Structure 1
Amino acid sequence: MEKFQDIYQRAAQRKGSAAMLQQLLVAPQNAKQLIALADDAWLEEFTRKIFQSGFYWSVINSKWSGFREVFWDFSVAKLLMMPPDMLELKATDERIVRNFKKVQTIPENAYMIHEVAADHGSFSQFIADWPSDDIIGLWGYLKKHGARLGGNTGPYALRALGKDTFLLSRDVESYLRAHKIIDGGLQTKKSLASAQHFFNELQQQSGLSLQELSLLVAYSVGDNRVGIQTTQA
């Protein structure tokens, strides 16, 4: 397994310099910032990522104001009181992308968030408290207890709102396979555990967040677009 410094030096060379690379390594939110998020924000981001899956993200983003109007700004409290026939009506609203199976996830994930909040004070508190050295455990929780939050959907939503997580993007997956860290299905327990172990090792060597390390790995092997910032790696 490569050491942190090897990966860092290659990424810095590909991006032009260590200074340029540092500008691209965006840190996640801290626990205090995460706890300050309203639980409704998590439902909104889960829904956004569910709808973005299989669609052009630009299409979903262009309709997002409509989604917010139709679903009461993703108010968990309001959505929990919504009767089934109203959900069916909202699923046909032209202001949103009309995909009933994905629309069904909104009240289902609202219920999951509500249940977690009842046990932990808030869903944001629950997310903030989850240890980064077992982030795949949080992925698994969202997959098991949420609706359509498996695969990369849950992790991308976590990243979007600032929870420290690595992502199994194409570049990261390519690196992990090239270095024999994973060799089977990407979402198997063995592959996920191996990826977590790899990033935990890098974190111990560097002191950086999983997010920064995930970006670093991607920049060390992916398309070399110098100066373009992204947090989706």
Structure 2
Amino acid sequence: METYRAIYERALERKGSSAQLEALLSQPLSTAQLQRLSDDAWLEEFTRKIFQSGFYWSVINAKWSGFREVFWDFNIDKLLMMSPEMLEQKAADERIVRNFKKVQTVPENCYMIYETAQQHGSFSNFVAQWPSTDIIGLWQYLKKQGARLGGNTGAYALRSMGKDTFVLSRDVEAYCRAHEVIDGGLHSKRSLTAIQAMFNDLQQQSGRSLQELSLLIAYSVGDNRVGIAS
């Protein structure tokens, strides 16, 4: 496996300067910042990422104010009381993308968040306390307990909300295959365990977050040009 320094130096060469490269690296939220997020915000972001999956993100974002109106700003207490009949009505509302299977995930993930919060004080506290050294374990929790949060959907939602996580983008996957970290299915238990181990090692070498390391790997490979963001 490559060292952190080798990855950083290659990304640095592609981006032109340390200042340019560092400007492209974003930071996750702290544990305290994550704990202050509302559980409603998690439901909203999970729903956004579910609808963005396989669709033009710009279309979903353009209609998002309609989603917020239809689903009461993703208020968990209100949505827990929603009847199946009302859900069907909302699924047919022209203010949203009318995909019933995806609409069904709103109450399902609402209940998952509520149940998790009952055990951990809040869903935000649960996520905030989850160790980055086993972030794939959190991915698996979302996949198993939630609805349509497997694959990259859960990871992208976590990243968007500020939880420290790597993301298996095309560039990161290509890097892992080129350096023989994985040779099978991307989301198999064996592959995910190997990728987590790689990131844990890089984190020990560098002291950087998983988010920064994920971005650095992406910037060190693929179709990158000097001075151009990946």
Regarding TM over 0.5, the answer is: yes
Matched position secondary structure for 2:124: helix
Aligned length: 230
Post-superposition offset of 1:193 = 0.2
Query: Is there any run of 5+ residues in structure 2 with no aligned partner, and where?
Result: none
Matched position secondary structure for 2:77: helix
What is residue 88 of structure 1 aligned with on the other side?
88
1:90-138 CA-partner distances (Å, limit 9, x unpaired): 0000000000000000000000000000000000000000000000000
1:93-132 → structure 2 map (5 Å cutoff): 93-132=93-132
- Equivalent residue letter for 1:135: I
What is residue 209 of structure 2 aligned with on the other side?
209
The alignment status of 1:25 with 2:29, answered yes or no, reads no
1:55-111 CA-partner distances (Å, limit 9, x unpaired): 000010000000000000001110000000000000000000000000000000000
- Partners of 1:136 and 1:57 lie apart in 2 by 25
1:6-45 → structure 2 map (5 Å cutoff): 6-45=6-45
Post-superposition offset of 1:22 = 0.8
- Partners of 2:151 and 2:181 lie apart in 1 by 18
Question: Is this contact kept in 1: 2:35–2:125, CA < 8 A?
Answer: yes
Post-superposition offset of 1:226 = 4.7
Post-superposition offset of 1:166 = 0.2
Matched position secondary structure for 2:194: helix
| C-alpha distance 192-97 of structure 1, shift in aligned 2 (>3 A) | same
- Equivalent residue letter for 1:86: M
The alignment status of 1:191 with 2:191, answered yes or no, reads yes
Matched position secondary structure for 2:61: helix
Matched position secondary structure for 2:219: helix
Post-superposition offset of 1:224 = 1.5
- Partners of 1:229 and 1:86 lie apart in 2 by 44
TM-score by length of 1: 0.97
Post-superposition offset of 1:18 = 1.6
Runs of 4+ in 1 over 6 A off after TM superposition: none
- Partners of 1:201 and 1:153 lie apart in 2 by 25
- Partners of 1:118 and 1:30 lie apart in 2 by 23
- Partners of 2:126 and 2:155 lie apart in 1 by 15
What is residue 155 of structure 1 aligned with on the other side?
155
Matched position secondary structure for 1:27: coil
Tell which deviates more after alignment, 86-95 or 216-225: 216-225
1:173-232 CA-partner distances (Å, limit 9, x unpaired): 0000000001000000000000000000000000000000000000000221555557xx
Question: Is this contact kept in 1: 2:13–2:226, CA < 8 A?
Answer: no
CA RMSD of aligned residues (A): 0.9
- Partners of 1:196 and 1:167 lie apart in 2 by 11
Question: Is this contact kept in 2: 1:24–1:227, CA < 8 A?
Answer: no
Question: Is this contact kept in 1: 2:11–2:21, CA < 8 A?
Answer: yes
What is residue 179 of structure 2 aligned with on the other side?
179
